[in-house]
Amino acid sequence: MILIGLLAFSLFGQGQDSPKNWSLSGYVKNMQTLLFFNDAFPDFQQGMLVDTFLQDNLIHNRLNFRWMINDELKLRTDLRTRVFYGDLVRANPNYGDAIDNVNNDYFDLSLVLLDENAWVVQSMIDRLYLEYFKGNWEVRLGRQRINWGISTVWNPNDIFNAFSFTDFDYEERPGSDALRVKYYTGFASSVELAVRMFDHFDEATIAGMWKFNKGSYDIQILGGYDRNYLAMGGGWAGNLGDAGLKGEFTYFLPLDKEQDDAFAATVGIDYSFENSLYLNGGYLYNSAGSTSASVTNLFNFELSARNLYPYRHAIFAQFSYPFTPLLNGGVAFIYSPVDIHALFANPTLTLSVAENWDLDFVGQITFDKEKRGYSSPIQAFFLRMKYSF
């Protein structure tokens, strides 16, 4: 409704000769999921983990609306609607509430339209902000993504809205209800301050970031307060010969003495060969991570910049290669050299079927060493068709 109202308003406000000052774009995706559990699905009646196989489907629509109110003011509204149906929905009686409550937004701009049997329909305003820019100033107010990450795979600097890489279907990633003021001091340098809306101070995130460019390196330094922790960190993106060298770290000092401090740091190298083979390798140290938890935690651990991965150590390797200009294939592995030797394998294939039509195949296969030896407790396979407009 809001969207339609805005549309009408902007059309009304448009002069006859002026170029179009608004745009509407988006996509529709249909994704089929196959989930295989190998002694890993919780059966509450039997009170044990069992083997099972689940099939689910997700239809996902996104509408991105932009309105250039004038040369200095812009409004952005994105609406995300998802229709879930299948076994996983049926198996979880509170599926609707569960997916509705995952966002840590201040304002509740989401609605479960339907939650019956194996069906859930949920709609949310994923972005809603005003942006003012003039000269070197940029001010944004509203639901926005404050993306402070600079490295490739893990982003310990992304304290406003960390995301899980297993959630590949949410490319835009979650936003924050926040005020952000940025001043650009050069072609790749800026100073910014951001505050997330809060009622109680222990829910607040208030932080600043300074970015600058030196000797072909982009460098950033971060400091602030993040939900009862003081956060201090930094990161860089630069070149090592013809390869990219990126890294990022944040130290979290608790203000509450009963909590532990946390340190997350990552470093990675990426390189693209002349035949277009792309390689990316990296390492994450995550002091809050476990050394023994089951690999099934990958899909439900408590995610934040303080804890980007369930394990203390993680080594990442990714290969991707365009077999033809239309077919791109790749595989990523994340191995944790801890007691449980958790391994996450993530093969992907992307095919451009036609102009604006993409078909993706994605696998998420987990391995770990538990009591019964090395095995694969969960395998997930996704087939997704996307139409962009």
Binder to another protein among 96, 142, 149, 289 (CB under 8 A)? Answer: 149
Among 14, 32, 81, 190, binds another protein (CB under 8 A): 190
Helix (H) or strand (E) holding 242: none
Nearest of 193, 198, 201, 86 to residue 146 by alpha carbon: 193
Phi, psi of 91 (to 5 degrees): -75, -20
Dist CA 264 CA 159 (whole Å): 11
Instruction: Select the residue interacting with another protein from 12, 15, 216, 260 (CB under 8 A).
Output: 216
184 is a site residue for another protein (CB under 8 A): yes
3-class secondary structure, 327: strand
Element spanning 70, H or E: none
Q: Is 25 a residue that touches another protein (CB under 8 A)? A: yes
Please say whether the beta carbons of 348 and 360 come within 8 A. yes
* Minimum separation from the CB atom of position 271 to another protein (A): 5
The rounded distance, in Å, linking the Cα atoms of 301 and 76 is 31
| Residue 293 to residue 310: CA distance in whole angstroms | 8
Closest distance to another protein from the beta carbon of 377 (Å): 30
C-alpha span between 378 and 39 (Å, rounded): 9
State in angstroms the smallest separation of the CB of 186 from another protein: 7
Out of 199, 256, 260, 274, which residue is the one contacting another protein (CB under 8 A)? 274
Among 8, 113, 326, 327, binds another protein (CB under 8 A): 326
Integer Cα distance of 341 and 223 in angstroms: 34
Q: Which stretch binds another protein (CB under 8 A): 239-247, 255-263, 291-299, 338-346?
A: 239-247
Residues 82-101 close enough to bind another protein by CB under 8 A: none
CB of 176 to another protein, least distance (A): 11
Find tokens 């859930």 and name the residue: 120
359 near another protein, judged by CB under 8 A:
no
By CB under 8 A, residue 292 contacts another protein: no
Contact 165, 309 (CB under 8 A): no
275 binds another protein (CB under 8 A): yes
Pick the binder of another protein from 17, 199, 256, 355 (CB under 8 A). Answer: 355
Report d(CA 221, CA 200) in Å as an integer.
Answer: 26
Cα dihedral 44, 48, 50, 55 in deg (nearest 10): 20
**Of the candidates 222, 231, 237, 340, which one interacts with another protein according to CB under 8 A?**
237
Interface residue list for another protein (CB under 8 A): 25, 27, 68, 133, 136, 138, 144-147, 149-150, 171-173, 184, 186-188, 190, 213, 216, 218, 237-239, 241-244, 246, 270-276, 322, 324-326, 352, 355-356, 358, 386, 388-389
